[in-house]
Structure 1
Amino acid sequence: MARNGYAWWYLDALSDDGRHGVTIIGLVGSVFSPFYAAARKRGPADPLAHCSMNVALYGPERDAWSFTERGGTDVRRYRTALVIGPSSMEWQDDTFLVRFEEKTAPLPGRVSGTVRIHPFAVADASFVLDTNGRHRWAPIAPIARAEVDIRLPECTRWTGLAYVDSNFGDEPLEDGFSGWSWSRATTRSRTVVTYDSVRRDGTRDLIQHSFCADGRAEPLEPLAPARVSRTLWGMERLVRVDPGTSPRLVRTLEDTPFYARSQLSGRYLGEHAHGVHEALSLDRFRTPVVQFMLPYRMRRASS
């Protein structure tokens, strides 16, 4: 992996009853790390020195958030596995297995559990996101089932529809983009993904694809842009749905000065679907005040 580069593996799942959710991101060269950003200012930085397993749990009673950066001997990469401290992601035959044991922030606590992702099919597609070919996105399991077993902060077990993808870059994310809106909305037979990015050079790229349970993938005619309410931090949430329909905000999952994650529902290709949306402002991320605030949500483990 290139110096100053990054890679991440992302999964999210929503319970069948709509009451629970989980998002886990395994990051090599943690793109939102203030420690990695500071290291890059001093010169080329090693992404393996800045790795994190970001775990976010959502429930009807309480949520939990963990984002601890590690490096050195705390990080091990294998052909089918990534280990970051006490947490790991790995393929076991046709199952994507995630184990996590992490400390929460900003309030001290622990999250512990296991997520098993069973893909309906593994996608064979990748997309270049920028004009210079330095940033790439690859859907891995756009439509899947999840078995979630949470031990801490409280014992919870549930199942639901899930999604897995990955991103790779040869330069800092904020060098390639000023921001984006991304969403995945899943019915029981397919997932619709929209990836609307604004590049640093001012050009725009819109990816809209449908991924079916039998493995078929196809580009879509542009969906209609719509908006739900801004977040408390003023982040705009641009959503794309069927023309003549409106998305519904189910819940704001994360609300930060530069990033928002939301649970949405809407009409896609004539079907009702539930999903996850994210809005990202890398212009905001670069500001000194946000860089100052980030360590309150993200800790650095001692080596």
Structure 2
Amino acid sequence: MSDDGSRAVSVIAFIGSVFSPWYRWSGRRDPENHVCINVATYGPGGRFTMTDRGRQALRKSRDSFRVGPSALHWQDGALVIDVNEISAPPVISRVRGQIRVKPVAMSSVEMLLTPDESHLWRPFAPNADIEVELEAPGWQWSGHGYFDANFGTRALEEDFAYWTWGRFPAAGGATCFYDATRLDGSTLAQAIHFDHDGGAHMVDPHPKTEFRRSLWAVKRETRADPGYRPRQVLPMLDAPFYCRAAVKTRLDGEETVGVHEALDLTRFRTRLIKPMLAVRVPRRAGWRFPD
């Protein structure tokens, strides 16, 4: 997110693109044949790109990950993301440039999201600096960000009905909230504070507080001081089953703006969603690197 709060960017690298209808229709048998670097920009002139590619478009090593014309690699302590994608309808255009994410410190935290370890969250760098240099007017800025990863051996909708996640700068670091309702009726409610030196400790979650639903009426809730009502301050991604936004809340008397996500997996399971997603997530199975 930019320092002035007016723009933001998200990048997700997938092996086995969990929200791709093509991966679901394939039976999810071959994750490396459904890879993607999803880049979305939020604010004036924002774009959304998410192209599902085949295994011939994948190259990876210890320090780099490349899918088609875009790539991530580590350089001088920073995660460098080279972007070269085409945005999805309704505005089709090239999204090209570079994003640098430099962790303030690395964390060793590993959180199980299900008791049988089928889903795992790794917040590698909950505190990071970010520099954005994209080839578009106004898309040269710096700000704060984070770097994390999710791993799973089953589809999300096989284990979860609903979840929310939030990362909020707070008290010399960042606090992350992970709340979920599993299909078996059990729940997850975790709150972790990360210091700038990489230290982490569990904190008592603040009260769960609902706030205004998304444009697609996805239920939204996060943690806040008693009596405080969180609110959206920058819209990001709004889909029938998912919402990402910059949200203002208050934690221990400190107002803070962070990134919040709400995911309704009951909706995601419905058959109607997959054809709708195919419009926004094109499949380019035949892409190959030039000789």
TM-score by length of 1: 0.91
CA distance in 2, matches of 1:215, 1:156: 29
Q: Does 1:229 align with 2:212?
A: yes
- Matching residue within 86, 95, 102 for 1:103: 86
- How far apart are the structure 2 equivalents of 1:90 and 1:276? 24
Q: 2:97 aligns with which of 105, 113, 118?
A: 113
Q: 2:126 matched to 1:142? A: yes
For normalisation by structure 2, the TM-score amounts to 0.94
Indicate the RMSD between aligned Cα atoms, in angstroms. Answer: 1.4
Q: d(CA) in 1 for partners of 2:100 and 2:220?
A: 30
Match of residue 7, structure 2, among 20, 23, 26: 20
Query: Displacement of 1:183 after TM fit?
Result: 0.6
- Quote the offset at 1:302 in angstroms: 3.9
Q: Percent identity?
A: 38
1:274 correspondence with 2:257: yes
Distance 2:115 2:157 in 1: 14
Quote the Cα distance in structure 2 between the aligned partners of 1:66 and 1:82: 17
Shift of 1:173: 1.6
| 1:204-224 deviation per Cα after TM superposition (whole angstroms, max 9, x unaligned) | 011110001111101011211
Q: Which runs of 5+ in 2 are unaligned?
A: 287-291
Number of aligned residue pairs: give it: 285
Q: Which of 242, 250, 254 is 2:237 aligned to?
A: 254
Aligned pairs (5 A) from 1:195-214: 195-214=178-197
Shift of 1:155: 5.5
In the TM superposition, what is the alpha-carbon distance from 1:132 to its structure 2 partner? 1.5
Q: Secondary structure at the match of 2:73?
A: strand
Matched with 1:178 is 161
Contact persistence 2:223–2:249 (CA under 8 A) = no
Contact 2:54/2:285, CA 8 A, preserved across alignment = no
Shift in Å, 1:241: 1.5
Matches within 5 A, 1:1-303: 14-40=1-27, 45-59=29-43, 61-106=44-89, 107-152=91-136, 154=137, 156-187=139-170, 189-303=172-286
Whether the 8 Å contact between 1:149 and 1:155 is mirrored in structure 2 is no
Give, in whole Å, the separation in 2 of the partners of 1:205 and 1:187: 22
CA distance in 1, matches of 2:189, 2:114: 11
Q: Deviations over 1:242-292 (max 9, x none)?
A: 233222210221111100011111222332221110100111111111112
Kindly provide the amino acid, as one letter, of the partner of residue 55 in structure 1: V
Q: Measure, in 1, the Cα distance between the counterparts of 2:31 and 2:285.
A: 17
- Find the residue that maps to 1:159 and give its secondary structure: strand
- SS where residue 48 of structure 1 aligns? helix
Contact 2:128–2:144 (8 Å) recurs in 1? yes
Give the C-alpha shift of residue 30 in structure 1: 0.3
One-letter amino acid matched to 1:236:
K
Unpaired runs of 5+ in structure 1?
1-13
Task: Give the conservation status (yes or no) of the 8 Å contact 1:192–1:268.
Answer: no
What is the CA–CA distance in structure 2 between the aligned matches of 1:260 and 1:155, rounded to whole Å?
A: 24
Contact 2:212 2:231 in 1 (8 A): no
